[in-house]
Amino acid sequence: MTLLSYLEPGEDFPPTELALEHPNGLLAAGGVLDSTTLVAAYRRGIFPWYEAPQPVLWWSPDPRSVLLPEELHLSRSLRRTLRRDRFQLSLDRAFDAVIEACAQPRPSQDGTWIGSAMSDAYRQLHREGVARSIEVWLDGELAGGLYGISLGGAFFGESMFARTPDASKVALVALCHVLRQVPHSVIDCQIESDHLNSLGARSVSRLDFEERLQQTVDMVVRDDIWHLPERCGGLL
């Protein structure tokens, strides 16, 4: 097995094919979480995922979970939730609050991978217009949401949360609502899960995923597509 690459600050990533030689698509360790490095990573389908005190770990799994916006599956119960029209929607209104909520340990977890360094890095990307959030509100309180990286016609989903049933699903429906306006757009879900599969995500090979990125990350996308109806009923 090839030794794991350890990156110095500013050093380029190794070929993603090398991730095949390490468990679960681990590609490299080290480097820094600055904007330049993160954007370069996402453009190649590489993402960071680690817990302090580990060094930054960079991943490129094969297969890769993706969701094409036009393939989103709305269950009958989710359609009922949207028709009830209880939730309000917003874009980039509460990015800090969304990332803080996503960073909270889940009931089945002892810790969180969204540490202070990760949070600071994505907040900087948000200030630069690269990281975006979708918020779902109920009676003026933040009920759920998601955040991720937007590059051209590709959206790299990082995390989502729900404090109220279906709130994170509504956020994903809202994201697909936006991205359906972009031909050939793709949502990177990173790792397969039954939850995402139930919403229409599917697994593709790393090669297929990287080919999709080549077609999408450099697309010029109008910023005015990033708008949502005020309430979730408008997503139907």
Domain ranges of the chain: 5-61, 65-235
d(CA 193, CA 170): 18
What does the DSSP 8-state code read for residue 19? G
Question: Which listed CATH number (3.40.630.70, 3.50.50.60, 3.30.590.10, 3.40.50.150) goes with 65-235?
Answer: 3.40.630.70
- Cβ within 8 Å of residue 162, ≥6 positions away: 143, 144, 168, 169
d(CA 36, CA 34): 6
pTM beyond 0.75: the answer is yes
Positive or negative torsion for Cα 60, 156, 207, 9: negative
Position 206, amino acid: R
Same fold, 5-61 and 65-235: no
Give the pair of three-digit tokens for residue 236: 């139907």
Supply the pLDDT for residue 1: 58
- Edge-to-edge order in the sheet of strand 202-204: 88-91, 131-138, 141-151, 154-162, 186-190, 64-67, 202-204
Supply the pLDDT for residue 22: 79
Supply the pLDDT for residue 111: 47
- Cβ within 8 Å of residue 30, ≥6 positions away: 6, 7, 8, 55, 56
Give the pair of three-digit tokens for residue 118: 């990760």
Q: CA separation (Å) from 4 to 21, 26, 28, 59, 217? A: 9, 8, 6, 11, 27
Supply the pLDDT for residue 6: 94
Position 196, amino acid: L
d(CA 132, CA 93): 9
Question: Which listed CATH number (3.30.70.3550, 3.30.70.20, 3.40.50.720, 3.40.50.1820) goes with 5-61?
Answer: 3.30.70.3550
d(CA 84, CA 204): 35
Average pLDDT of each block of 10 consecutive residues along the chain (236 residues)? 84 91 89 96 96 92 97 98 98 98 74 82 97 98 98 97 97 98 96 94 97 96 94 98
- Cβ within 8 Å of residue 3, ≥6 positions away: none
